[in-house]
Amino acid sequence: MKPTWWQLYGLGVLLVALIGAIEVGVPPGALRTILESAAVILGFGLMLVWRRHNRVALELATPSASSRRPQPLECRRAPGATLGSWVRSGQTPKRSWPVSRRRKRASVEEN
């Protein structure tokens, strides 16, 4: 999905043509100022409508920091961490095992 840029460019050309027609066709004075101001306000309003209709395409087309492909996480042991008493048996006890089959962790001796 891409933004419809041609519509925005066409809108810009039409607004420049409208302001040019006002400049040529309307004599200087209050009416000319009002018409030019109304044309500019209309132009900004139509640009906001265009942006609203193309907001999804603009969001998808705009690269952001969060859109980068996530990097895989590395799993490392914390410094000083030990595997404790689980290394001897080669198995990790599960909560579903009966209590008699589970081994208690070796207590850490404090100095």
Type of residue at 64? S
Q: For residue 53, is it within any domain?
A: yes
Q: For residue 42, is it within any domain?
A: yes
pLDDT at 69: 64
Q: Where are the beta strands (DSSP E) in the chain?
A: none
Q: For residue 56, is it within any domain?
A: yes
Instruction: Find the domain containing 33 and state its range.
Output: 27-60
For residues 92 and 86, is the Cβ–Cβ distance under 8 A? yes
Sign of the alpha-carbon dihedral angle for 11, 13, 14, 16: positive
Q: For residue 41, is it within any domain?
A: yes
Whether 13 shows a pLDDT value over 90: the answer reads yes
User: What is the three-class DSSP state of 51?
Assistant: helix
Tokens 């018409």 label which residue?
35
Give how many domains the chain has, as a whole number: 1
**Structure tokens of 76?**
């490392």
Sign of the alpha-carbon dihedral angle for 11, 17, 20, 26: negative
Whether 86 shows a pLDDT value over 90: the answer reads no
Q: For residue 66, is it within any domain?
A: no
The pLDDT tens digits of the residues spanning 25-72 come to 999 999 999 999 999 999 999 999 999 999 988 888 877 656 566 666
Q: For residue 22, is it within any domain?
A: no
Question: To the nearest whole percent, how much of the chain has pLDDT over 70?
Answer: 57
